[in-house]
Amino acid sequence: MGTTEDQRRKFEGLDRDALQKHQLASLNRLLDKVLPQNEFYARKLSDCKFPLKDLDELASWPTTIKEELQPATADPFVANRTYPADHYVRYHQTSGTRGRPLVVLDTASDWKWWTDCWQFVLDAANIKTRDRALLAFSFGPFIGFWSAFDALQERGVMAIPAGGMGSLARLEMIRRSGATVLFCTPTYALRLAEIAREHQIQLEQLPVEKIVVAGEPGGSVPSIRARIESAWQATVFDHAGATELGAWGYPDSQRRGIHVLESEFIAEFVSVTTGRRAESGELARLVLTTLGREGAPLVRYQTGDLVRPDLGHPGDNRFVLLEGGVLGRADDMMIIRGVNVFPSSIEQILRSFPEVVEYRMTAHRRTAMDELVIEVEDRLMQPTRIAEELKLQLGLSVEVHCVPAMSLPRFEGKGKRFLDERNETSTNEA
Give tens-digit pLDDT for 231-241: 999 999 999 99
Q: Which residues of 225-263 are buried (b: 16+ CB within 10 A; e: fewer)?
A: bebbeebbebbbbbbbbbbbbbbbbbbbeebbbbbbbbb
- For 291-351, strand residue ranges (E) read 301-307, 309-310, 321-323, 328-329, 334-336, 339-341
The confidence band for 364, taking pLDDT boundaries of 50, 70 and 90, is confident
Give tens-digit pLDDT for 96-146: 655 678 999 999 999 999 999 999 999 999 999 999 999 999 898 988 899
The confidence score (pLDDT) of residue 98 equals: 58
CA 287 to each of CA 148, 164, 302, 309: distance values in angstroms, whole numbers, following the listed order: 23, 35, 5, 12
Alpha-carbon span 213 to 225, nearest angstrom: 10
The amino acid at residue 228 is I
CA angle 63, 65, 66 (to 5 degrees): 155
- Is the pTM higher than 0.75? The answer reads yes
- From the DSSP assignment, how many helices (H) and strands (E) are in the chain? 11, 22
Answer left, alpha or beta for residue 139, where phi above 0 means left and psi between -120 and 50 means alpha: left
Domain positions in the chain are: 5-106+241-330, 113-238, 333-429
| Helices of type H across 60-129 | 108-124
The confidence score (pLDDT) of residue 413 equals: 66
| Helices of type H across 35-185 | 39-44, 108-124, 146-155, 167-177
- The average confidence (pLDDT) of the chain is 91
**Segment 173-190 mean pLDDT:** 95
The confidence score (pLDDT) of residue 424 equals: 64
Higher pLDDT, 335 or 304: 304
Whether residue 427 is predicted with pLDDT greater than 50 in this model: the reply is no
Give tens-digit pLDDT for 74-94: 789 999 999 999 999 999 998
User: Which CATH homologous superfamily contains domain 5-106+241-330?
Assistant: ANL, N-terminal domain (3.40.50.12780)
Give tens-digit pLDDT for 50-83: 899 999 999 999 999 999 999 887 789 999 999 9
Classified by CATH at the fold level, domain 333-429 comes out as GMP Synthetase; Chain A, domain 3 (3.30.300)
The confidence band for 430, taking pLDDT boundaries of 50, 70 and 90, is very low
The confidence score (pLDDT) of residue 396 equals: 81
In CATH, the architecture of 113-238 is 3-Layer(aba) Sandwich (3.40)
Beta-bridge partner residues of 182:
134, 211
15 CB contacts (<8 Å, ≥6 apart)? 318
Alpha-carbon span 343 to 366, nearest angstrom: 19
What single DSSP character describes residue 219?
G
CA angle 217, 330, 407 (to 5 degrees): 55
Whether residue 409 is predicted with pLDDT greater than 70 in this model: the reply is yes
Give tens-digit pLDDT for 256-286: 899 999 999 999 999 998 999 999 999 999 9
Tell me what percent of the residues of the chain surpass a pLDDT of 90. Answer: 71
Q: Decide if 5-106+241-330 and 113-238 have a common fold.
A: yes
Taken in order 152, 154, 159, 164, the sign of the CA dihedral is positive
Contact between residue 289 and residue 300 where contact means Cβ atoms under 8 Å apart: yes
If you compute the radius of gyration of the chain from its CA atoms, what whole number of angstroms results?
A: 22
Alpha-carbon span 423 to 430, nearest angstrom: 11
CA 318 to each of CA 12, 103, 125, 271, 306: distance values in angstroms, whole numbers, following the listed order: 6, 34, 18, 22, 21
CA 370 to each of CA 76, 97, 207, 349: distance values in angstroms, whole numbers, following the listed order: 37, 22, 45, 19
